[in-house]
Amino acid sequence: MADLHIEEFYRDAAIGLAQLYSAFPRPVNLFIEDIAGPDQPDEFGLHSKRHMACFGALLWLADEGLLRYVDTIRQDALDQAVLTRTAFIRLSTPASPALAAEAGVPAPDSALPVSVQQDRCTYIHLIREALRSGHSERISRVVQAAFFSDTRQH
């Protein structure tokens, strides 16, 4: 089992990237509370460690070239965030059937239209399904495969 903060990183990355994919190519404000949950700053106005970890994860994704943003809105949001070309292409790419099965996503029904079958094989579909499951290991595995592993393996 991974460290809790690493599992939270993968979850935050998955949610943030899925939100940006849903809005693509329109830039949107990406609010930390929408990803990490409500936050109650302390008496000094400082955010919780969880909130700051999510904020840091999104900034790291930007540093790694997966998303762009115009500015930060304090430490509450990324202003005008959008996926980069690299992230959009990767999320739209079909994943291997082995990864889909490993992530608990059944093979597409051959009775479905080809376009639907193709959509259900993409990394974004696997990420959404992993998020729906709420299973940390699935989320981690799919995000790792989508962005942090050698693409020739999948």
pTM here? 0.86
Report phi then psi at 83, rounded to 5: -65, 150
pLDDT on residue 101: 67
- For the chain, the first-to-last Cα distance in angstroms comes to 22
pLDDT on residue 152: 43
Tokens representing 100 are: 């889909």
Report the pLDDT averaged over residues 121-130: 91
Pair (75, 129) in one structural domain: no
Q: What is the number of structural domains in the chain? A: 2
Q: 30: helix, coil or strand?
A: strand
Pair (44, 30) in one structural domain: yes
107/66: higher pLDDT: 66
Pair (35, 104) in one structural domain: no
d(CA 112, CA 106): 13
pLDDT on residue 103: 65
Report the pLDDT averaged over residues 41-69: 94
Report the pLDDT averaged over residues 94-120: 67
Asked whether the predicted pLDDT for residue 154 surpasses 90, the reply is no
pLDDT over 90 percentage in the chain: 66
Pair (30, 65) in one structural domain: yes
Pair (106, 66) in one structural domain: no
pLDDT on residue 21: 98
Q: 120: helix, coil or strand?
A: coil
d(CA 15, CA 36): 9
